[in-house]
Amino acid sequence: MAKMSAMDAAVSILFDEGVRQIFGIPGAGILPFYKSLKNQGKIKHIVTRHEEGAIHMADGYARAIGAVGVCAATSGPGASNFVTGLYTAQVDSIPILALTGQNVRAQLGREAFQAVDIAEIVKPVVKKSYCVKESAMIPFVFREAFRIMREGRPGPVLIDLPLDVQNGEIEYDPATDRSLPLGQVGPTPAQVAKALDLIQAAQRPVFLLGGGVIVAEAWEEFKALVEYLQVPVVSSYMGKGGLPFDHPLMAGQVGIQCNTRSGNQTFLESDLVVAIGARFNDRHTGDIKTYVGERQFIHIDIDPGQIGKNLMPVLGIVSDAKLACQALLAEAKKRGPAAKAGAWAAKVPQVRDELKRKVDYDQVPIKPQRVFKEINQFFDDETVFVTCIGLNQIWSGQLQEIRKPRHYLDCGGAGPLGWDMPAAIGAKVARPDKQVVQVTGDYGFQFCMEELPVAVMYGVPILIVVLNNGYLGLIRQAEKYVYDMNYEVQIWYDSVNGGLGFDFVKFAEACGAKGERVTDPNQLQAAFDRGLKSGGPYVIDVICERETDCSMGASIAAVREFE
């Protein structure tokens, strides 16, 4: 067995595990890794402008194609800038490998320059973290990291690499190494039988399509199951796109913010909820007593820690979503012919159409809802949308019509402002064949806007639609109705740019991108067309009516509607 550098072994393993793209910044503490990355030349790299941008790009890349996203940074503040991205990936079940440099082992614990104990800092927000103390452990740590990221509920792993460990030589033969096998967990026959008993006994059952169905790539199995049983479907926000919005059984989304009226109403009328890959988080359930009501729950999830955490199911099943759907369908077929659509399922399309929210506003300044009418009409089903936190995200979740999984990417659990721009770049790198559109707010745009030059530098053509109302919109609305104030939430300023403050178009041009401002709703689709034809990153600054409120509430039975 020949000797090789520890980092040569690490890069060889990354490639063998399917890594073809890394996002990062080559600081001093991670340079041995970068030397091996350069020498082997098999994995592409994009240098970002901030470490948070790097990990969000890796996140968007992972979500777009269901792969492991990889990011790299130097030690100290470079590594600690990954924390927000790791938290985001953990709560949304995204497999990300974060590689960080570290000072030499002799300086650990001595408050040396840029020698923070990042492996300890990130423990609450990763599946596992390592600080590798021996070069010979590198192959085994990297292989185990990929198993951990992929197995069960996916999630992030951090590997911290002291400089002298990176520089070590080890005995390693790539020809005799391999990926570690993944364990799969499916439901037991007794669990499947009881689930079918409950479904068949219910008068108004619904399936709740959670984000775990998309993470497990189980959407075809889910669709086959609900179509065979003829049971209506509602989704969580993270499940958006798992079943086409206009499928005859798709009632809509449930939640106190990113909801549809038909989704909430159908859920409230149900007597049994079969939840697959859902966390029952607070923005989904709202007031938990209202949410639970008198209905029963079957909760299927790969993470045993989720079952019983937020509500008590009548039946909990720890299982991979795809295996669970396959087993339930097999049992249903064994019991008899496919169900015919009863009145409960047959009324779904009518309810969905009757309870649609209004979007056909014509006034100027542009109503935000009108923006989404134009988006729905202009872009095709193959477009990948990326959005983040704020009223822009809530309107997007309520109004955008998505037919395909992995075509609507959002950070549902953590909601870090600025996630969407780097995530959109990562998604476009992963899917160069797709048009990628970022839908963002004027405040959120300014959080990670330093990554726009990255899209220009590497020729990554994303379209960025900014809903610009000069406010921290979600906080303005909360202040208005909960605290009776309007304090420190306005971000337009009078001294420049016609009183609109930040000029998104000039910023785009300064970065080498293109853009335009739109003030007339009838010009939106023409702007979208120019953006797509520009061939590069393009920013559309949409001046919106400033104080339009967004439908939401504390309970799914008491969502306050606004026009």
Contact 260, 236 (CB under 8 A): no
Q: Which of 354, 379, 403 is the last residue before a domain boundary? A: 354
Is there a cis peptide before residue 365, judged by omega within 30 degrees of 0?
yes
Q: What pLDDT is attached to residue 110?
A: 74
Q: Which of 354, 379, 405 is the last residue before a domain boundary? A: 354
Residues 380 and 289 in one domain: no
Residues 388 and 277 in one domain: no
73 strand-pairing partners: 100
Q: Using CA atoms of 283, 284, 287, 289 in order, give the dihedral in degrees to the nearest 10.
A: -160
Residues 255 and 332 in one domain: yes
pLDDT one-digit tens code per residue, 470-483: 988 889 999 999 99
Distances (CA, A) of 325 to 181, 226, 298, 442, 517: 23, 9, 13, 41, 47
Residues 68 and 215 in one domain: no
Please indicate, yes or no, if residue 561 is contained in any of the structural domains: no
Residue 336 confidence class, pLDDT cut points 50, 70, 90: confident
Q: What pLDDT is attached to residue 148?
A: 98
Question: How many Å apart are CA 294 and CA 422, to the nearest integer?
Answer: 43
Question: How many Å apart are CA 294 and CA 317, to the nearest integer?
Answer: 21
pLDDT one-digit tens code per residue, 16-48: 999 999 999 999 999 999 999 999 999 999 999
Q: What pLDDT is attached to residue 137?
A: 96
DSSP states of 422-462 as a string? HHHHHHHHH-TTS-EEEEEEHHHHTTSGGGHHHHHHTT--E
Residues 14 and 95 in one domain: yes
β-strand pairing of 169-171 with 157-162 = unpaired
Helix (H) or strand (E) holding 508: helix 504-511
| Strand arrangement, sheet containing 69-73 | 44-47, 21-24, 69-73, 96-102, 157-162, 128-131
Residues 107 and 133 in one domain: yes
Is the pLDDT confidence value at 150 over 80? Answer: yes
Please indicate, yes or no, if residue 551 is contained in any of the structural domains: no
pLDDT one-digit tens code per residue, 353-406: 999 999 999 999 999 999 999 999 999 999 999 999 899 999 999 999 999 999
Is the pLDDT confidence value at 435 over 70? Answer: yes
Question: How many Å apart are CA 163 and CA 42, to the nearest integer?
Answer: 23
Is the pLDDT confidence value at 497 over 80? Answer: no
Q: What pLDDT is attached to residue 493?
A: 80
β-strand pairing of 3-5 with 169-171 = antiparallel
Q: And the tokens for 145?
A: 């990291």
Contact 514, 446 (CB under 8 A): no
* Axis-axis angle for helices 391-399, 368-378 (nearest 10): 50
Residue 540 confidence class, pLDDT cut points 50, 70, 90: very high
Please indicate, yes or no, if residue 483 is contained in any of the structural domains: yes
Please name the amino acid found at residue 291.
Y
Domain enclosing residue 310, as ranges: 189-354
Question: Does 496 or 47 have the greater pLDDT score?
Answer: 47
Helix (H) or strand (E) holding 296: strand 296-301
Is the pLDDT confidence value at 1 over 70? Answer: no
Please name the amino acid found at residue 508.
A
Q: How many structural domains is the chain composed of?
A: 3
Average pLDDT in the 329-339 region? 89
Q: What pLDDT is attached to residue 496?
A: 66
pLDDT one-digit tens code per residue, 101-134: 998 877 777 776 777 899 999 999 999 999 999 9
Helix (H) or strand (E) holding 384: strand 384-387
Q: And the tokens for 253?
A: 């989304």
Burial class (CB in 10 A: 0-12, 13-18, 19+), 66: middle
Q: What pLDDT is attached to residue 142?
A: 98
Residues 98 and 163 in one domain: yes
Q: Which residues in 118-255 belong to E strands, given as ranges?
A: 128-131, 157-162, 169-171, 205-209, 233-235, 250-253
Q: Which of 146, 176, 206 is the last residue before a domain boundary? A: 176
Please indicate, yes or no, if residue 462 is contained in any of the structural domains: yes
pLDDT one-digit tens code per residue, 182-205: 999 999 999 999 999 999 999 999
Is the pLDDT confidence value at 339 over 80? Answer: no
Please indicate, yes or no, if residue 522 is contained in any of the structural domains: yes
Domain holding 60: CATH number?
3.40.50.970
Domain holding 322: CATH number?
3.40.50.1220
Please indicate, yes or no, if residue 288 is contained in any of the structural domains: yes
**Residue holding tokens 């939401």?**
552
Residues 340 and 207 in one domain: yes
pLDDT one-digit tens code per residue, 288-307: 999 999 999 999 999 999 99
Average pLDDT in the 448-466 region? 97
Is the pLDDT confidence value at 235 over 80? Answer: yes
- Give the list of residues 6+ apart from residue 460 with CB closer than 8 angstroms, or none: 425, 428, 429, 454, 537
Per cent of the chain over pLDDT 70 is 99
| Averaged confidence pLDDT in the chain | 94
Q: What pLDDT is attached to residue 424?
A: 98
Residues 377 and 525 in one domain: yes
Smallest CA-to-CA distance from 80 within 100, 108, 103 is with: 100
Residues 335 and 206 in one domain: yes
Question: How many Å apart are CA 108 and CA 189, to the nearest integer?
Answer: 52
Smallest CA-to-CA distance from 385 within 367, 366, 411, 355 is with: 411
Residues 307 and 374 in one domain: no
Q: Which residues in 87-209 belong to E strands, given as ranges?
A: 96-102, 128-131, 157-162, 169-171, 205-209
Q: What pLDDT is attached to residue 495?
A: 65
pLDDT one-digit tens code per residue, 391-422: 999 999 999 999 999 999 999 888 899 999 99
Q: Is residue 500 helix, strand or coil?
A: coil
Please indicate, yes or no, if residue 467 is contained in any of the structural domains: yes
Please indicate, yes or no, if residue 553 is contained in any of the structural domains: no
Q: What is the pTM of this model?
A: 0.95
Residues 194 and 171 in one domain: no
